[in-house]
Structure 1
């Protein structure tokens, strides 16, 4: 189970930008398709891309910067 999940959808240019930010920071994450999760559609539809920290249930919604993503990662990663 991956600790960080990037919730988005195919063809979303903002999701592609978020993915690039996370890759440049070296943050390991899995992709999750929002359309496969009805609960996420209700909760995050207008917020994607969303970086979700699965163990805590906390999330960082778009727009986020490299700095805010790095801070979120540092605050929530487990050793």
Structure 2
């Protein structure tokens, strides 16, 4: 599995319109986060292939699965 340099990771893939929506939501929160394309890692593709976008908290090992709203992102990151 990939090594994550940031606490928050947005799992996505290219051409995923839901991932683009999720990215805009996360960006609104002005947090430092990492993008991780699941197609770059077979384990991530197996785990999240039908679930993306997923926001992952690497410090607390928590996942926020789509569908989510802006207030869900805020709660998840502790804003």
Residues 38-67 of structure 1 deviation map (CA, whole Å, 9 limit, x = unaligned) = 111111111100001112221101111100
Aligned length: 75
The CA RMSD measured in Å over matched residues stands at 1.3
Q: Which runs of 5+ in 1 are unaligned?
A: none
- Structure in which a larger fraction of residues adopt helix: 1
Q: What is the match of residue 35 of structure 2?
A: 31
**TM-score normalised by L of structure 2:** 0.87
**1:17 offset after TM fit, Å?**
0.4
**TM-score normalised by L of structure 1:** 0.87
- Return the match for 1:73 from 49, 62, 77: 77
Q: Which stretches of structure 1, 4 residues or more, deviate above 4 A after TM superposition?
A: none
